[in-house]
Structure 1
Amino acid sequence: MDDSETDTLIAVSKPKDKPMKSKKQRNLALGSVYPEVIEPEKDFLLPQKVKRRDSSNHYGTIPEMEPEIAADSPGPLSATLLMVPIVAMLGLALGIYEPLIVELFKSRICEYNFNFTRTICLDLANFTGNNASDIGAETTEATAKITAISGLLSSVPCLFITLFMGSWSDNFGRKLPMALPFLGFILSAFVTTLAANYPLHPYILLLSPFSMSLFGGWVVLLMAVFSYVADYTTAENRSTAVALVDGSLLVGKTAGILAGGQLLSKYGFTIPLFIFGTLPILAVSYVLVFVKERGVFGTSQQFSCAVFTTKNLLDNAAVLGKKRVGNTRKHIHLLLLSTALGLIFLGDQTALQLITEKSPFSWDVATFTKFISVQNVAVGLALALLVPLFRVLAASDIWIAIISCISAVLCSYGYAFSNSTATLLVAAATGILRNFHVVLARAMLVPMVARDELGKLMSAYATLQAIAPLFQSLFFGSIFALTVAWWPGFCFVLGSFAFVLSLAIFCYIDWDRQNEIYSL
Structure 2
Amino acid sequence: MAEPPEGLPAEPAEGGDPAGPERSPPPRCARLRAVEPVLLLATVAVSLQNPLCTQYLWDRLGPGDGTSSAEKGRGCGNGTHFGPQEVETLVAHWNLYINLAGFFVGLFSVTLFGPWSDNVGRRPILIMPALGMALQAGIYLVVMYLKLPVGYLLLGRILSGLSGDYNLILAGCFAYVADVSSKHERTFRVAILEACLGLAGMVASIVGGQWLKAQGYIAPFWLVFAVSLCAALYSAFCLQESVVQRRPGKLLTFCHYLAVYHLYVAPDRGRVWKKLALYSLVFFLVITVHFGTREILVLFELSFPLCWGSDLIGYGSAAYYLTYLSSLAGLRLLQMCMADSWVAEAGLLSSFSGLVVFSLASTTPLMFTGYGLLFLSIAVTPVVRSKLSKLVGDTEQGALFAAVACIEGLCSLVATGVFNSLYPACLHFMKGFPFLFGATILLVPAAIVGWIEIQDAKPAYRHFTDPPVPEGESVHH
TM tier, smaller: 0.7 to 0.9
CA distance, structure 2, for counterparts of residue 177 and residue 411 of structure 1: 35
Equivalent residue letter for 2:293: D
Percentage of identical aligned residues? 21
Please give the residue correspondences for 1:167-182 in structure 2 after superposition, counting only pairs within 5 Å. 167-182=115-130
* Gap change, CA 1:450 and 1:349, over 3 Å in 2: closer
Q: Which one of 372, 384, 395 corresponds to residue 328 of structure 2?
A: 384
Q: Which one of 236, 246, 249 corresponds to residue 288 of structure 1?
A: 236
Structure 1 residue 182, shift from structure 2 partner:
1.3
Cα deviation digits, residues 72-102 of structure 1 (max 9, x gap): x99xxx85xx122111101111122234444
Structure 1 residue 478, shift from structure 2 partner:
4.8
Partner of 1:502: 445
Structure 1 residue 406, shift from structure 2 partner:
2.4
CA distance, structure 1, for counterparts of residue 224 and residue 38 of structure 2: 14
Partner of 1:165: 113
CA distance, structure 1, for counterparts of residue 326 and residue 87 of structure 2: 39
Contact 1:166 1:455 in 2 (8 A): yes
> Is residue 134 of structure 1 aligned with residue 78 of structure 2?
no
Partner of 2:248: 303
Please give the residue correspondences for 1:95-494 in structure 2 after superposition, counting only pairs within 5 Å. 95-102=47-54, 126=74, 132-134=79-81, 143-296=91-244, 302-304=247-249, 306-323=250-267, 326-346=270-290, 347-349=292-294, 362-366=306-310, 369-370=313-314, 372-391=316-335, 393-416=336-359, 425-480=368-423, 487-494=430-437
Partner of 2:43: 91
CA distance, structure 2, for counterparts of residue 374 and residue 119 of structure 1: 24
CA distance, structure 2, for counterparts of residue 186 and residue 377 of structure 1: 23
CA distance, structure 2, for counterparts of residue 221 and residue 368 of structure 1: 29
- Structure 2 unaligned spans of 5+: 1-20, 23-29, 461-477
CA distance, structure 2, for counterparts of residue 269 and residue 403 of structure 1: 39
Q: In structure 2, the residue corresponding to 1:277 is in which secondary structure?
A: helix
Structure 1 residue 132, shift from structure 2 partner:
4.8
Structure 1 residue 425, shift from structure 2 partner:
4.5
Contact 1:164 1:313 in 2 (8 A): yes
CA distance, structure 1, for counterparts of residue 60 and residue 439 of structure 2: 40
Bigger Rg over Cα = 1
CA distance, structure 2, for counterparts of residue 133 and residue 459 of structure 1: 43
Equivalent residue letter for 2:100: L
CA distance, structure 2, for counterparts of residue 245 and residue 354 of structure 1: 28
* Gap change, CA 1:368 and 1:294, over 3 Å in 2: same
* Gap change, CA 1:143 and 1:452, over 3 Å in 2: same
Cα deviation digits, residues 385-427 of structure 1 (max 9, x gap): 2322333x15322121122122233334444466766555544
* Gap change, CA 1:156 and 1:124, over 3 Å in 2: farther
Structure 1 residue 500, shift from structure 2 partner:
1.9
Q: In structure 1, the residue corresponding to 2:214 is in which secondary structure?
A: helix
Q: In structure 1, the residue corresponding to 2:252 is in which secondary structure?
A: coil
CA distance, structure 2, for counterparts of residue 350 and residue 189 of structure 1: 19
Q: In structure 1, the residue corresponding to 2:184 is in which secondary structure?
A: coil
Aligned pairs, number: 429
Q: Over aligned residues, Cα RMSD in angstroms?
A: 3.6
Contact 2:301 2:313 in 1 (8 A): no
- Which shifted more, 342-351 or 446-455? 342-351
CA distance, structure 2, for counterparts of residue 102 and residue 480 of structure 1: 15
CA distance, structure 2, for counterparts of residue 187 and residue 399 of structure 1: 42
Equivalent residue letter for 1:134: H
CA distance, structure 2, for counterparts of residue 162 and residue 273 of structure 1: 25
Structure 1 residue 207, shift from structure 2 partner:
2.2
Structure 1 residue 241, shift from structure 2 partner:
0.9
Cα deviation digits, residues 130-164 of structure 1 (max 9, x gap): x9542676777655544432222322221111121
CA distance, structure 1, for counterparts of residue 410 and residue 211 of structure 2: 30
Contact 2:109 2:161 in 1 (8 A): no
Cα deviation digits, residues 449-495 of structure 1 (max 9, x gap): 11111111111111222222333344445555555555555444443
Structure 1 residue 333, shift from structure 2 partner:
0.7
TM value normalised by structure 2: 0.78
Q: In structure 2, the residue corresponding to 1:381 is in which secondary structure?
A: helix
Cα deviation digits, residues 204-253 of structure 1 (max 9, x gap): 34322222223111111111110010111122211111111112113312
- Which shifted more, 98-107 or 176-185? 98-107
Q: In structure 2, the residue corresponding to 1:400 is in which secondary structure?
A: helix
* Gap change, CA 1:270 and 1:411, over 3 Å in 2: closer
Q: In structure 2, the residue corresponding to 1:291 is in which secondary structure?
A: coil
CA distance, structure 2, for counterparts of residue 239 and residue 402 of structure 1: 15
Q: Higher relative CO (CA 8 A, sep ≥ 6), structure 1 or 2?
A: 2
CA distance, structure 1, for counterparts of residue 433 and residue 62 of structure 2: 36
* Gap change, CA 1:201 and 1:309, over 3 Å in 2: same
Contact 1:401 1:440 in 2 (8 A): yes
Contact 1:108 1:200 in 2 (8 A): no
* Gap change, CA 1:354 and 1:159, over 3 Å in 2: closer
CA distance, structure 1, for counterparts of residue 262 and residue 149 of structure 2: 44
Q: In structure 2, the residue corresponding to 1:295 is in which secondary structure?
A: coil
Q: In structure 2, the residue corresponding to 1:236 is in which secondary structure?
A: coil
Contact 2:172 2:398 in 1 (8 A): yes
* Gap change, CA 1:358 and 1:171, over 3 Å in 2: closer
Equivalent residue letter for 1:210: I
Q: In structure 1, the residue corresponding to 2:81 is in which secondary structure?
A: helix
